[in-house]
Amino acid sequence: MTMTVDGFIAKADGSLWDAFPWSPGMLDHITEFFRGVGTAVYSRPTYEAIVPFWHSVAIGEPPPGTEVTDRDRELAQLLEDIEKVVFSRSMETGASDASILNGDVAETVRELKGKAGPDLVLHAGGSLVSELAEARLIDEYMLYVSPAAIGSGKQLFSEVNDELPLRLEETRVFDSAFTLLRYASA
């Protein structure tokens, strides 16, 4: 999850801040990370914000005015090949290449985690993250801190009711800009 130094994952209206774009070092790290991912779990809004963009890059039709590098295309192809699961009450099956689910989120993720295979990654907003965090189904948090403060907006853990003990596993600074804070559930 990318967040600002003051703890927000988006502006109040859900849009991103100006200093959001990834640095080249961060893009390299994320690309290497996704080599080990087999399934991505999304909330509907996050799916709609991420997947169409990377799909357009993967098929060679990025949005007009978007500068695309070879590394962008490499990441796009990795993301294209990953199994996708979307939790949504409003998205229709067949509207995407993802499996659309609207049942018990925690139970479904528990089942997905129980399958053998490559890693499972979660791309979601605060509600889904909070639900899975409280069910103790998130093993690791990779927080990419953007060099920006926006004062208000949507927080990642705003719906967490119980304390989440975490253990810092790694810190890394990318191109003197973004900082990775990688935590394991304690």
Residue 95 has pLDDT above 80, yes or no: no
Residue 115 has pLDDT above 90, yes or no: no
Residue 21 has pLDDT above 80, yes or no: no
Radius of gyration of the chain (CA): 16
Residue 108 has pLDDT above 80, yes or no: yes
What confidence category does residue 176 fall into, taking pLDDT thresholds of 50, 70 and 90? confident
The separation between the first and the last C-alpha atoms of the chain, rounded to the nearest angstrom, is: 19
> So what's the architecture of 2-185 in CATH?
3-Layer(aba) Sandwich (3.40)
Q: Which residues pair with 39 in a beta bridge?
A: 83, 120
pLDDT (0 to 100) of residue 94: 65
| Owner of token pair 């600002």 | 4
Whole-number percent of the chain with pLDDT over 70: 97
Domain extent listing, the chain? 2-185
pLDDT single digits (tens) 65-93:
988 999 999 999 999 999 999 988 888 76
What confidence category does residue 22 fall into, taking pLDDT thresholds of 50, 70 and 90? confident
pLDDT (0 to 100) of residue 167: 97
What confidence category does residue 46 fall into, taking pLDDT thresholds of 50, 70 and 90? confident
Average pLDDT over residues 45-63: 91
Contacts 24+ apart (CB under 8 A), 13-17: 14/45, 14/154, 17/146, 17/148, 17/150
- Cβ count near 171 (within 10 Å): 10
Average of per-residue pLDDT values in the chain? 90
Per the CB < 8 A criterion, the answer to whether 150 and 11 are in contact is yes
Helix (H, G, I), strand (E, B) or coil at 99: strand
What is the pTM assigned to this prediction?
0.88
Residue 158 has pLDDT above 90, yes or no: no
